[in-house]
Structures are given as C-alpha cells and as structure tokens.
Structure 1
Amino acid sequence: MGADRSRADSLRWTAEGTKTFFGALDALPDDRLDRLIALDGWTGRHLLAHVAANADALVNLAHWARTGEETPMYASPEQRDADIEAGAVRPAAELRTWAVRAAETLDARLSELDDRQWARQVRTAQGRGVPAEEIPWMRAREVMIHAVDLGAGVGFDDLPADFRVALIGDIAAKRSGDGPALTLTATDHDRTWAVSGAGDPIPVTGTLGGLAAYLSGRPAHGVTGPGGPAPELPRWL
C-alpha cells in the first residue's frame, strides 16, 4: 500500500466516498443528469454509468482475488467505452438503481476476502499488476473525485483531509515523468510532494483541496505557481 494509506484506510474512504457520492447524486433531479459536465463532453448520465460500471469491473477483480481465476476489469477499452455510452441512455431510475446495486455488490465481495486473497496479484485496466488490497483505494478515488464532478455542491475541500493527502501522493507519483517537474507545498498541511518531469521543478502552492483538484486536472482555486498560475495539467481519472 502507499505510504499514506492502509487497507483499512482505503476501505473507510470507500465507504465515506460512496456515501458522499450518492448523497450528492440524490440532490440532483433527473433532468440535471442530462447536462454536460466538465469531463470530455460527458453528461451526468455518462458519469453515473461510469461509476456503476467501475464497481462492476472491480467486482471482477475481487472475484480474481478470491478464486485465483483471472478476471479482467473490462473485456477491452472499447467495450468499457461502449458500456458507458449504452448505460448513459438507460432510464434515469434504472441508471440510479444500477449504480447503487453495483456499489453494494462490490462492498459485499470485498468483505469476503481474507488476508491471503487480499495479497493476490490482480491487474488494473491500465495493465499494472497490483495486490488486491489496492481495489478499495481504486474505488475510493472514483467515488470521491466523481462526487465532485457531479456538480452538486461537493468540492475537494469537503473530502476527508487524510484522503486528500493520500490522493495527492498517488497522483504525484503517477504524473512523474510525464509533463513539467513540480514541487507541491500545502498551505494548510505540513507536507510537500515532488513530481519529476521536464525542466527545473516549478513550485506550486495551495490547500490540500486545491492541490488535489489541480493534480487531477480539475478547476483549482487558490493554487499558484511562481508569480502567477500553476502550469496547466491534463485531466487524471
């Protein structure tokens, strides 16, 4: 696991994030799901279908961990995209029900794993081999970040502080080597992070919430570089 998180942390954040995501979703009437959100031309329907399909995909990894039978998250990237597009046109009530049931099924499957199964290697959609105890962290990121993406009043500052610390560390590591070199300093936490990349490191400062938003490629208020805005980053997740 990462230096800033344990399996217990990730399971707790998955539970908290699921509550946050569906609380935000419940605040949105069906017609709001038809609106575009700031994610590659997706509507709220696409986002909800993605979160539901992600839970189904992680159930596959939980099955792999429990049985040893190789079960990829998705049949292919093309199938993943097709499932999201198909899900986005389902009736809103059906789409909401799918998302809830998929989340409940994932929670049930994860609760069945023992220590040996948590240690079993599975593979992410990007092809990385990871121990199964990474599954709840993968889910926590999805429900926490996409709760913000719903646009229902949840911001990165509303997410748990320890989750934001772990998220910044995770994204900083994954962004290293791709893009500008950065040194990130939190103004509300005694912590810095480094992103390796091209050129001399550019100092970037902001709150934990601002840095998490910035690194994930979302609008980030109060995040600054030397003498002006921080370098723009593409969306992550």
Structure 2
Amino acid sequence: MTLGETDQVARAALKARQGKGARYDAAGAPAEDLLMARRGTAYFARKLNELSDNDLDGAVLRPDWTRRHVIAHVSYHARHQALLLEALVKGVAYTPPNDEKHQMPALDLAATLPARALRHLFHHSEVHLNVCWRDLTDAHWDMPLTLPDSAATTVRALPMLRAREVWFGALDLDNGGRRTDLPQAVRGL
C-alpha cells in the first residue's frame, strides 16, 4: 500500500470513529490552500503564545500598531471571512452590521481588550472560520464573491488570502518570526 493509500485508509477510519456530527472539507475544496492557511494559523498561534501578556503592548513592524493591534486585525480578518461565507451559504449578500450590538469594535478599541480576551478573540475567530470552510460544498468553492473592499473574487481564493494574513501577521508580531519560516507559496504573494 502506498503512502497516499495509507493516508486515505486512515482518514476513512477516523471519519468512521468520529461519526456523522464531525465536519470535513468538501472533496473539491482547495486542500493545499486550506493547509497553508491552517499551518499559518498554527504558526501565528505559536508566536502569540510565546508572548507574555505584558509583551502584547510591544511595538511591531507596522507603524503606529502594537502587537495587540496585529492580533485584533488577524482575528477580525478571520471573522470577516467567516461572516462572508455564512452569508454566501444562506444565499444572501453580506453587508457588515450597522447596529452597535452586532458591529465589531474598531481595531483601536479591540486592542484595549485584556490579554486573555484578545487571545480568545484570535482562537474563536480561527475556529469560526474553520467551521465555515468545512460547511462549504463543492459548488460553493467556485462561487463569485465580493469582498468588503469591493474586490471581486471567488470563495476558492479566500484560504490563500487568509494564509497570507496569518503568516505575515506572525512576522508583524516581531518576536522571532523569520521570512524564511514562510512557505514559498506564501512568500511570493
């Protein structure tokens, strides 16, 4: 049995053990791009976890930002993608909420969150986006999408946009991440 076949058998056995409630990416999903985004998220999480709560106030590579701003920005990026995908699955156009109750706080305000809350914001936004990706069918991946900045794209492009955001966000934290840590596919973006 080849390595690929062994991997397929192992995945099938895992799915059988996990049962019907577990979520998996659609067969037609951009697996390599999703992997790049998920690995980047893990890298960002590792760099974030290396920081003490006091370190979150430190300077970063982006002018006028702290590490708190980077964490909030990366978190909001995931949250915006998740909301776009939820709207797409429901068949409605995504419009950012305009009422105070549902609107995301401004980046400067989010940067003032307690350290624990900021860490949870990152974790929850990552989980939310992963759930949305796994809820997409093969047909959803090639649907057109308009980003909040009015750029036209397809759903299939979102994982690489996310990959770029988390990998470069990890470098922006300025706590030992190196450009050579980035996969070649992301470095070229």
Shorter-normalised TM-score: what interval? 0.7 to 0.9
**More RCO (CA 8 Å, sep 6+):** 2
Work out the CA distance in 1 between the residues paired with 2:124 and 2:106. Answer: 16
Q: Which residue of 1 aligns with 2:79?
A: 56
Q: Which residue of 1 aligns with 2:172?
A: 149
Which structure shows the higher strand fraction?
1
Deviation track 1:122-141 (CA, whole Å, cap 9, x = no partner) reads 11232111111111111111
Work out the CA distance in 2 between the residues paired with 1:155 and 1:125. Answer: 30
* Residues 74/121 of structure 1: CA separation in 2 closer, same or farther (3 Å cut): farther
Q: How do residues 1-237 of structure 1 correspond to structure 2 at under 5 angstroms? A: 7-72=30-95, 83-165=106-188, 167=189
Give, in angstroms, the shift of residue 155 of structure 1.
Answer: 1.1
The one-letter amino acid paired with 2:116 is A
Work out the CA distance in 2 between the residues paired with 1:133 and 1:101. Answer: 22
Work out the CA distance in 2 between the residues paired with 1:9 and 1:83. Answer: 33
The one-letter amino acid paired with 2:140 is Q
Work out the CA distance in 1 between the residues paired with 2:172 and 2:84. Answer: 25
Work out the CA distance in 2 between the residues paired with 1:163 and 1:142. Answer: 10
Give, in angstroms, the shift of residue 28 of structure 1.
Answer: 0.7
Tell me the percent identity.
29
The one-letter amino acid paired with 1:26 is N
Conserved? CA contact 1:45–1:88, under 8 Å: yes
* Residues 74/123 of structure 1: CA separation in 2 closer, same or farther (3 Å cut): farther
The one-letter amino acid paired with 1:41 is D
Conserved? CA contact 1:61–1:132, under 8 Å: no
* Residues 73/106 of structure 1: CA separation in 2 closer, same or farther (3 Å cut): farther
Q: Which residue of 2 aligns with 1:191?
A: none
SS of the residue corresponding to residue 64 of structure 1 reads helix
Which structure shows the higher helix fraction?
2
Work out the CA distance in 2 between the residues paired with 1:156 and 1:74. Answer: 36
- Tell me how many residue pairs correspond in the alignment: 157
Q: CA RMSD in A?
A: 1.8
* Residues 148/20 of structure 1: CA separation in 2 closer, same or farther (3 Å cut): same
Conserved? CA contact 2:61–2:174, under 8 Å: no
* Residues 141/66 of structure 1: CA separation in 2 closer, same or farther (3 Å cut): same
Work out the CA distance in 1 between the residues paired with 2:97 and 2:130. Answer: 19
Work out the CA distance in 2 between the residues paired with 1:112 and 1:73. Answer: 21
Work out the CA distance in 2 between the residues paired with 1:73 and 1:138. Answer: 19
TM-score with structure 2 length normalisation?
0.77
Q: Which residue of 1 aligns with 2:22?
A: none
